[in-house]
Amino acid sequence: MDQAIEIPVTGMTCEHCAAVIAKALTALPGVKAHVSYPRATATVESLGRATLPEVLQAIQAAGYGASLPGRTHGPAPDRRRTPLHVAVIGSGAAAFACAIRAAERGARVTMVEGHTVIGGTCVNVGCVPSKIQIRAAQAAHDQAAPRSPGIMPRAPAIDRALLVMRQQAQVEALRQAKYQDVVDHNPRITLRRAYARFVDRHALSLTDSTGQEEHLKADRFLIAVGALPAIPEIPGLAGTPFWTSTEALAAREAPRHLLVLGASAVGLELAQAFRRLGSEVTVLARSRLLSREDADLGAGLQAAFEAEGIRVLTAVSVSRVRCEGGPFVLTTSQGPVEGDRLLVATGRQPNTGRLGLVQAGVKTDGRGAIVVDDHLRTSAAHIYAAGDCSTLPQFVYVAAAAGTRAAMNMTDGDAALDLSVLPAVVFTDPQVATVGLTEQAARAQGLTVDVRTLPLENVPRALVNCDVRGFIRLVVERSTDRLIGAQILAADAGEVIQTAAIAITRRMTAGEMADQLFPYLTLAEGLKLCAQIFTKDLKQLSCCAG
């Protein structure tokens, strides 16, 4: 080859793209080439033992467009003549965050959703309806079991059908205002009602409700199809009318006795809500409540549940489920358990099975979750993923942050998603809120730590609320006194945990936390009190020690 060949390349959005293509080309035997993102070209100085079609194929296999050049030199094509086209598969938090930010940055966005409603899990069958129901259950419980002296209990009148009707009305209003209206008023975003499947790295097959199929090509893709309830393979279960959280939240009649299989956030939140709204409830935990959290959190929550009349079975296995026109009967390691409804809440699995990810060159893990890096890139450089279908933690705020950063990275940005400080809340009563490392996790990482636990009976706000269930726990690195973790079991723990998250992010020490000014008679003041006992005797502190 006497002179260099300059090949126009489409689809590059940043210098990382150029590096990916250069790596793919230099992997060919004897090829010498350099890639320019500003010029949108790959310049091949030597083909070595490769052929020009092989070079083009290598660029295309990396996820970019390339064609035979019309001339060896000359100006590069104007890559900004038409806007970047981004295809977003899904319409939940990650999808909308990506679509909005990509449109703001000049891209043309096609959002593809196969379901009849948009908005994803959170607004439709997750966070929003569950918190509406949990709040209603709290109101009923406060009537039936008031904590303040002098307030007489009375049985609440519960109309579950009316509750669910109003719940769904709120869901529909929020879905319209925050999802449908956003699409309708953004000229850069087009919503397509169809199921999507990759036919190759740059094209989707879209199948609508009538079975009509067409292909859609795009420069960049975001996969944000969420997750579905994971159903365990228990003999007899598949043929029964069991509930997932979706059916439980929509149920217009309360069961007499609800069995809850699973002891993580979703199952526990709904278990307590149904109990407070009139049902008997039995929770079956394979190990213990909240098995991934500090053991004291699960133990404290179990005590609160049992005080409300919820039966909790721990370390229990289920070997068979029967329901033959009557009640559910579960054969368990602790004997038979019977109830008229069964809620299966054993986790969620990525909804990736029908996407054609092999054709797109997108890798998944053993659960089917799409593997992403901290820039939300998949194994195909031009395809990104976010939300519950990916290997990210399954929280809606993580999904939204990931979608935004994916859009930035599609459009010349360089935004990483930092999950080193991730607050989380379980909306039971008392609530469970965590951030950073537990004592066990810190020691497993080889850190030497100090830990202090403040029972809520030492927090003035909890005392005047007549609710001292729970504790505040802080974990600090001994050598630096730096806060690295917090765990809270308290009625309003979710309203406090972000303060701890900010302190950890800002690398505050326990001493600095202890010196902060906190408003008196707030639960957050408990963080200050807990920080103080790293150096002081709790018994020697007054109720508002400065």
User: What is the per-residue pLDDT across 241-258, written as a single tens digit (0 to 9) for each?
Assistant: 999 999 999 999 999 999
User: What is the per-residue pLDDT across 265-292, written as a single tens digit (0 to 9) for each?
Assistant: 999 999 999 999 999 999 999 999 999 9
**Catalytic residue flag (residue 530):** no
Tell the burial category of 304 from Cβ atoms under 10 Å away from its Cβ (0-12, 13-18, 19+): middle
* DSSP H/E element including 44: strand 41-46
What is the distance between the alpha carbons of residues 262 and 286, in angstroms, rounded to a whole number?
Answer: 7
The reported pLDDT for the residue numbered 545 is: 60
Q: Count the Cβ atoms, other than its own, within 10 Å of residue 83.
A: 16
The reported pLDDT for the residue numbered 305 is: 98
Q: Give the global pTM.
A: 0.85
User: Does the pLDDT at position 319 exceed 50?
Assistant: yes
Identify the bridge partners of residue 329 per DSSP, sorted by sequence position.
322, 338
The reported pLDDT for the residue numbered 18 is: 85
What is the distance between the alpha carbons of residues 255 and 327, in angstroms, rounded to a whole number?
Answer: 11
Q: Do domains 85-229+349-410 and 245-334 have the same CATH topology?
A: yes
Point out the least confidently predicted range of 66-75, 162-171, 475-484, 485-494.
66-75
- Strand boundaries in 285-346, DSSP class E: 311-313, 318-322, 328-332, 335-339, 341-344
**Catalytic residue flag (residue 389):** no
**Catalytic residue flag (residue 17):** yes
User: What is the per-residue pLDDT across 348-366, written as a single tens digit (0 to 9) for each?
Assistant: 999 999 999 999 999 999 9
Q: How many residues does the chain have?
A: 546
Helix (H, G, I), strand (E, B) or coil at 278: coil
**Catalytic residue flag (residue 122):** yes
What is the distance between the alpha carbons of residues 389 and 216, in angstroms, rounded to a whole number?
Answer: 21
The reported pLDDT for the residue numbered 251 is: 97
The reported pLDDT for the residue numbered 4 is: 82
Give yes or no for a contact between 260 and 343, defined as CB atoms under 8 angstroms apart. Answer: yes
pLDDT band (50, 70, 90) for residue 150: very high
Question: Does domain 5-66 bear CATH number 3.30.70.100?
Answer: yes
* Residue 112 CA: distances (Å) to CA of 86, 231, 498: 11, 27, 34
* DSSP H/E element including 192: strand 189-193
The CATH topology of domain 245-334 is: FAD/NAD(P)-binding domain (3.50.50)
Q: Count the Cβ atoms, other than its own, within 10 Å of residue 254.
A: 16
User: What is the per-residue pLDDT across 393-447, written as a single tens digit (0 to 9) for each?
Assistant: 999 999 999 999 999 999 999 999 999 999 999 999 999 999 999 999 999 999 9
Task: Sketch the domain layout of the chain as residue ranges.
Answer: 5-66, 85-229+349-410, 245-334, 424-540
The reported pLDDT for the residue numbered 540 is: 80
The reported pLDDT for the residue numbered 72 is: 36
* Residue 399 CA: distances (Å) to CA of 365, 395, 529, 545: 18, 6, 34, 41
6 vs 303: which has the higher pLDDT? 303
What is the distance between the alpha carbons of residues 141 and 125, in angstroms, rounded to a whole number?
Answer: 23
Question: Which of the residues 1, 165, 466, 543 is marked catalytic?
Answer: 543
The reported pLDDT for the residue numbered 1 is: 54
Tokens read off for 255: 């069961």
Tokens read off for 297: 């959190």
Closest CA to 489 of 440, 426, 431: 431
Angle between helix axes 525-532 and 497-505 (nearest 10 degrees) is 60
Identify the bridge partners of residue 283 per DSSP, sorted by sequence position.
260, 312
Question: Which of the residues 64, 179, 195, 384 is marked catalytic?
Answer: 64
The reported pLDDT for the residue numbered 71 is: 40
Mean pLDDT of the chain, nearest integer = 93
Give yes or no for a contact between 272 and 302, defined as CB atoms under 8 angstroms apart. Answer: no
The reported pLDDT for the residue numbered 75 is: 38
User: What is the per-residue pLDDT across 200-243, written as a single tens digit (0 to 9) for each?
Assistant: 999 999 999 999 999 999 999 999 999 999 999 999 999 999 99
The reported pLDDT for the residue numbered 78 is: 42
What is the distance between the alpha carbons of residues 525 and 2, in angstroms, rounded to a whole number?
Answer: 76
**Catalytic residue flag (residue 98):** no
**Catalytic residue flag (residue 323):** no
pLDDT band (50, 70, 90) for residue 544: low
The reported pLDDT for the residue numbered 405 is: 98
Question: Which of the residues 1, 111, 127, 530 is marked catalytic?
Answer: 127
User: Does the pLDDT at position 66 exceed 60?
Assistant: yes
Tell the burial category of 13 from Cβ atoms under 10 Å away from its Cβ (0-12, 13-18, 19+): buried
Give yes or no for a contact between 85 and 219, defined as CB atoms under 8 angstroms apart. Answer: yes
Question: Which of the residues 17, 98, 408, 410 is marked catalytic?
Answer: 17
Question: Which of the residues 122, 389, 408, 508 is marked catalytic?
Answer: 122
List the CATH code of the domain at 85-229+349-410: 3.50.50.60
The CATH topology of domain 424-540 is: Enolase-like; domain 1 (3.30.390)
